[in-house]
Structure 1
Amino acid sequence: MEEKPKTQKKPTPNSNKNIEKLLAENLEQNKQILEAVNVTRRYIKFIRIVNVVKALLIFIPLALALIYVPPFLQKILEVYDELIGTS
């Protein structure tokens, strides 16, 4: 059996209007999605900045403690040794 060649239908004005309507709806939905994506990006950027600040609030005091506490403790231990009388 032979297959008949498929003929293309010419777009009618009604189908063009339908396609334009669907494209307009699609464009509006894409704009809404883009707005949501931008809000999410700003939120993620804010969270990253907050995490860096939190890490700095933890590590800066630790670094300063490592620098300044040992000499301070050494002086305290020297005074303690003098009070106890050990050499």
Structure 2
Amino acid sequence: MLSAVDRRRSAGRFRRRPVATSIAGALGMEVVNVLLTEAGARYLWRHVAMAVEETAEMVGVVIVLLGVLTAVRVRWADRQLTVDYDAGR
């Protein structure tokens, strides 16, 4: 049986990292696409691999943009634009 400290440590090791997962997925699909091309696969399968790769890349972009949007606060007061970055979020 794990103690509470051990459970927290092991949970931290396996935490999900969506941006890293998205990048790894895009790179993996790039490799699959190259292998399909080298093997002389049909055009349809290469396009399916490219579509999945582009989707993984776009998911990564959306995750990064959402992270920036939640960490940046923009205010307009007294004819002055103020941009604050909260790195703690």
Using the size of structure 1 for normalisation, the TM-score is 0.37
Using the size of structure 2 for normalisation, the TM-score is 0.36
- Select the structure that is richer in helix: 1
